[in-house]
Structure 1
Amino acid sequence: MSDTGPRRLRLVANVLLALVVAFGTIVVSSAGAQAQTATFTNPLNSSGADPWMTYYQGNYYQMTTPYAGPITMRRAATIAGLKNAAAVPVFNDFPAGRNRNVWAPEFHFLNGPNGWRWYIYYSAGNGDIEGQRVHVAESAGTDPMGPYTYKGMVFGADDWWGIDGSVVTIGGQLYFTWSGVPGRWTGNDPSIYIVAMGNPWTVTGARTQISTPQHDWEVQGTPMNEGPAALQHGGDTFITYSASACQGPDYKLGLLELTGTNPLSASAWTKLPEPVFERNDAAGVYGPGHNGFFTSPDGTENWIVYHANTSPTQGCGGTRTTRIQEFTWNADGTPNFGTPVSVGTVLPVPSGETVGAYNRLQSYNFPDRYVRHANFDVRIDPSVTPAQDAQFRIVRGLAGTGTVSFESVNYPGHYLRHSNHDFALVPNDGTALFAADASFRQVAGLADATAASFQSYNHPDRYLRHYDYALRLDTITTATARADATFRIL
């Protein structure tokens, strides 16, 4: 992470090249455009423990411990946007008995009995630590924002004590891993367990303890192994976990590697003898732990998301904030997380993040009018209020390289989409049809080559155009239609 200057220059050069390849020449004026930053600083929020984060179809998604319902999610196309994104409730089914101590929600995209769905795994109970169990909720579709419905307590009839549930697929088999104890929590040291799953909400068979606090660095404050998170690379499987008491500055990460063939055999897992990520007093970082992983938008970089404190006296509460940083790999194939950087350290954003502008599409033949959404319908109007209704982020097309899509600025995750040749602003449902309907090839303006026109990806004989001020997808055969299908990008 020390080579940030050269890397930042390479990042900007790569992004500019990618924009030229994907979009062609895009005319952007300074008026009305808000440039995105190519750098960021931690933390990502003022309070955010036990973070989980992923990048999916053009957006970052993030969850942290809510302590009580509802479970919320933040979403944004950029890290800068994520820092300002609202925490949107996505699951709020918390009856008595599982409405207290709502901890460590994670969300995973799994192919289950109902097809590809998102699953939220979270810990909750009745307020007594002995009552903590791991629960699961399933999304209705492929949108990480839900809605979600409760599927049950993941341990079923086994009714094991447990917190910090996570999943990993090894050899085509789904496994559940968590922090548990042999019986009651009282008098036992929380350890890392693994068990096979019959489906994303049900475990099956016997559990196996694969790590227990044994080294000096795992028992500082309280003997503890918790927060397992799987990491796979080059055919290898690792599990990070948090060790020692979260109440102190020595909370840190350990690492397990699957060196055998049977994940349900304790002897198949090898624990590294030293921690892999821990306090950095010189940088003012204390208790870094309870992490997750995500890849950069272009898939070329690996990133760790974790929480930490800025003082050794801060504990296991709301002072913990969410931070992210890139990590690399050692020659032997193990991850190299480096050291946690200080709050305020300027870092380049994950590779492939959209670095562009918020744009307006001005009608070529009605220059006082702009493409805008109103009640999710799309038309051209003058004097748009609020202004963000007429602002879009031109992003890499959902259908792939060589296309563009138009994402709403004030409704992130909503895109201009055609259906029955009409246009609306619609949330991305993650389907291939949506991606095709919301993707266009930007070409030279049909009425003026210095402007732009947008050819449908899945109906290449048709173009985006306005007709009676409403946006349509039409064939273009007349001079009037060519003007209607031409826009200036401001």
Structure 2
Amino acid sequence: MTRHLSRRTLLRGGVGVAATGLVLPTAARAAHATPPPVRTDAEIYGAPTTNPLVWQRADPFVTPPTGGRYFFTASVPEYDRLIVRASPTIEGLGTAAETVIWRRPAAGRMGGHIWAPELHRIDGRWYVYFAAGDSDNVFRIRMYVMESTAADPREVSGWSAPRQIVTPWDSFALDATTFAHGGQRYLVWAQSEPEISSNSNLYIARMTSPFTITGRPARIATPTKSWEVQGFRVNEGPAVLTRNGRIFVTFSASATDARYCMGLLTADARADLLDPATWSKNPDPVFTTNEQTNQYGPGHNSFTVAEDGETDVLVYHARDYRDIVGDPLYDPNRHASAQRLYWHEDGTPLFGVPVGAGGPIVRLSPADAPSTVVRHYAYVLRVDRDVRELADTQFRFVPGLAGEDTVSIRSVNFPDRYWRVDGASLRIDPVEDGDAYAAQASFRRVRGLANRNAVSLELSDRPGVYVRHAGGGLTVDGPAGSRSTFWLG
């Protein structure tokens, strides 16, 4: 009988010994009645994956840890207010109390749709950037900013009245974000520029204060590719990440249904950011609907860092169904989600796929070849280097199909498939009923044979037999030190 574990235990890697998430190898169990502690989830996994993170909150924005807490804001389905949550962990934002820091007026200016707030800490003060329409025309959207001198952005009395961010055109404008680079602060936003046949393009400008841009803005992206013009011609929702000598700007494109997706702009960090030629656009979207994980229309993201202070985390919204009744803008079920952002060897980001519900996600690297990762290719498990198909290398430990102190390992991008021993090799195969499949798809996750901070995988039905790295593939055999040991990352 399969043992059911609590969600907390599962998120702690909890199978076998609940306090550590590991059991000892067969030969060592009797000698170590009280195993020493192992690394925490934050150290092992880099970032928790909670999906959804916050229900019915679109355009999510999570700050970096500030004063020991993360702060969250987003669009609410009613489009009528600005909200803030706080938690010492990213996962805790899902159940954190919500404070309304501002409500739209009953009529007049800013009395229409309230969209896409962002919280930024600048020179010791809080600023919330948002877009608002008017009561007589909810789509007369313009950009606004409020300032607070309070240490906590949830302190309602600390906020000033909204001020409009003025651009050269009095037209549809939204999704302002700001960042500092090279001693200069910039604003990036989306706007409908007159005489350009698109709903919105992306612009960048220097700022003289958190309220004001200066000089002529540079248009850095226009929707022209097939994936950017589905339903509407849209580039919107920019988010900025500076890494590896480059500045990356993600953005969202097309209509807000299942066709919504994310693109990527890249600039050399040493270049003139106001020169449009500095920016290059990926030819294909980097984050799209994934039917296997039941995540539709992922987009309008932000970035934060995990509790370890180093691991980048992608925050975005998506729906868990494709078909929408009526205008997708008024469908309330865009949920905020969070997952780890990985990096390729060449310094570019790897987004993978929007993951489905479940606990932490891992990649496994053999201890004897730590620059490689386990992946599936044509449903066979192998070990490769230089893998751009991130989702092919991502897995989840789940309670073992064989029960007791076992684990099973589920594919992230094919959630109906598990690691399965097939003779001397391993595959990912669809789950089947019966004891034979359960035994073949279950393992004992034990402390690493070559390093106690890693893991080894002992076959559930063959004590002393382990999963081993062998010449770019995976096989099963007796213990072999580093070849039977895997780092999790």
TM-score scaled by length of structure 1: 0.60
Give the aligned partner of residue 38 of structure 2: 13
Structure-1 separation of matches of 2:169 and 2:181: 23
Structure-2 separation of matches of 1:267 and 1:17: 40
Amino acid at match of 2:39: N
1:347 aligned to 2:360?
yes
Amino acid at match of 2:265: L
Structure-1 separation of matches of 2:320 and 2:102: 31
Structure-2 separation of matches of 1:136 and 1:239: 21
Structure-1 separation of matches of 2:195 and 2:85: 35
What CA RMSD, in Å, does the superposition of the two structures yield over aligned residues? 2.9
Which of 346, 351, 359 is the aligned partner of 1:337?
Answer: 351
Structure-1 separation of matches of 2:42 and 2:110: 51
Judging changes above 3 Å, is the alpha-carbon distance between structure 1 residues 138 and 93 closer, same or farther for their aligned structure 2 residues? Answer: farther
Post-superposition CA distance 1:145-202 (Å, at most 9, x none): 24211251011675443011111212111111111111289x5331111111110011
Give the aligned partner of residue 484 of structure 1: none
Check the 8 A contact 1:61/1:75 in 2, yes or no: yes
Amino acid at match of 2:147: E
Residue 40 of structure 1 deviates from its aligned partner by: 5.8
Check the 8 A contact 2:227/2:254 in 1, yes or no: yes
Judging changes above 3 Å, is the alpha-carbon distance between structure 1 residues 214 and 156 closer, same or farther for their aligned structure 2 residues? Answer: closer
Give the aligned partner of residue 163 of structure 2: 152
Residue 80 of structure 1 deviates from its aligned partner by: 4.4
SS of equivalent to 1:275: coil
Judging changes above 3 Å, is the alpha-carbon distance between structure 1 residues 17 and 348 closer, same or farther for their aligned structure 2 residues? Answer: closer
Give the aligned partner of residue 86 of structure 1: 97
Structure-2 separation of matches of 1:16 and 1:290: 27
Give the aligned partner of residue 126 of structure 1: 134
Judging changes above 3 Å, is the alpha-carbon distance between structure 1 residues 256 and 126 closer, same or farther for their aligned structure 2 residues? Answer: same
- Please give the residue correspondences for 1:27-176 in structure 2 after superposition, counting only pairs within 5 Å: 41-54=50-63, 55-66=65-76, 67-92=78-103, 94=105, 96-111=108-123, 116-127=124-135, 128=137, 131-146=140-155, 147-155=158-166, 159-176=170-187
Check the 8 A contact 2:306/2:312 in 1, yes or no: yes
Residue 76 of structure 1 deviates from its aligned partner by: 1.7
Structure-1 separation of matches of 2:307 and 2:274: 33
Post-superposition CA distance 1:45-87 (Å, at most 9, x none): 2201100012222222111103444311111223443221121
Residue 99 of structure 1 deviates from its aligned partner by: 2.1
Residue 224 of structure 1 deviates from its aligned partner by: 0.9
Judging changes above 3 Å, is the alpha-carbon distance between structure 1 residues 273 and 5 closer, same or farther for their aligned structure 2 residues? Answer: farther
Check the 8 A contact 1:65/1:102 in 2, yes or no: yes
Out of 116-125 and 62-71, give the one that drifted further. Answer: 62-71
Structure-1 separation of matches of 2:48 and 2:348: 27
Check the 8 A contact 1:68/1:99 in 2, yes or no: no
Amino acid at match of 1:333: G
Amino acid at match of 2:120: H
Which of 183, 207, 210 is the aligned partner of 2:194?
Answer: 183
Check the 8 A contact 2:207/2:213 in 1, yes or no: yes
Judging changes above 3 Å, is the alpha-carbon distance between structure 1 residues 84 and 153 closer, same or farther for their aligned structure 2 residues? Answer: same
Check the 8 A contact 2:264/2:282 in 1, yes or no: yes
Give the aligned partner of residue 265 of structure 1: 275
Judging changes above 3 Å, is the alpha-carbon distance between structure 1 residues 348 and 74 closer, same or farther for their aligned structure 2 residues? Answer: farther
Amino acid at match of 1:324: A
Structure-1 separation of matches of 2:41 and 2:110: 49
Post-superposition CA distance 1:405-428 (Å, at most 9, x none): xxxxxxxxxxxxxxxxxxxxxxxx
Check the 8 A contact 2:84/2:99 in 1, yes or no: yes
Structure-1 separation of matches of 2:206 and 2:42: 45
Post-superposition CA distance 1:84-135 (Å, at most 9, x none): 1121112346462112110000011112xxxx21110000021526521000
Structure-2 separation of matches of 1:97 and 1:39: 41
SS of equivalent to 1:82: helix
Structure-1 separation of matches of 2:111 and 2:139: 14
Give the aligned partner of residue 200 of structure 1: 210
Residue 39 of structure 1 deviates from its aligned partner by: 5.9
Out of 56-65 and 317-326, give the one that drifted further. Answer: 56-65
Structure-1 separation of matches of 2:91 and 2:161: 32
SS of equivalent to 1:282: coil
Amino acid at match of 2:85: R
Check the 8 A contact 1:124/1:134 in 2, yes or no: yes
Check the 8 A contact 1:161/1:184 in 2, yes or no: no
Structure-2 separation of matches of 1:105 and 1:320: 15
SS of equivalent to 1:81: helix
Amino acid at match of 1:52: F
Which blocks of at least 5 consecutive residues in structure 1 are unaligned?
19-37, 350-490
Give the aligned partner of residue 376 of structure 2: none
Q: How many residues align?
A: 320
Which of 308, 318, 322 is the aligned partner of 1:312?
Answer: 322
SS of equivalent to 1:150: coil
Amino acid at match of 2:101: V
Give the aligned partner of residue 237 of structure 2: 227
Residue 262 of structure 1 deviates from its aligned partner by: 1.1
Residue 141 of structure 1 deviates from its aligned partner by: 2.7
Amino acid at match of 1:215: K
Structure-2 separation of matches of 1:104 and 1:198: 23
Structure-2 separation of matches of 1:215 and 1:158: 25
Residue 308 of structure 1 deviates from its aligned partner by: 0.1
Judging changes above 3 Å, is the alpha-carbon distance between structure 1 residues 16 and 256 closer, same or farther for their aligned structure 2 residues? Answer: closer
Amino acid at match of 1:330: H
Judging changes above 3 Å, is the alpha-carbon distance between structure 1 residues 330 and 149 closer, same or farther for their aligned structure 2 residues? Answer: same
SS of equivalent to 1:347: coil
Amino acid at match of 1:252: C
Judging changes above 3 Å, is the alpha-carbon distance between structure 1 residues 56 and 214 closer, same or farther for their aligned structure 2 residues? Answer: same
Structure-2 separation of matches of 1:334 and 1:230: 14
TM-score scaled by length of structure 2: 0.61
Residue 312 of structure 1 deviates from its aligned partner by: 1.1
Out of 44-53 and 309-318, give the one that drifted further. Answer: 309-318
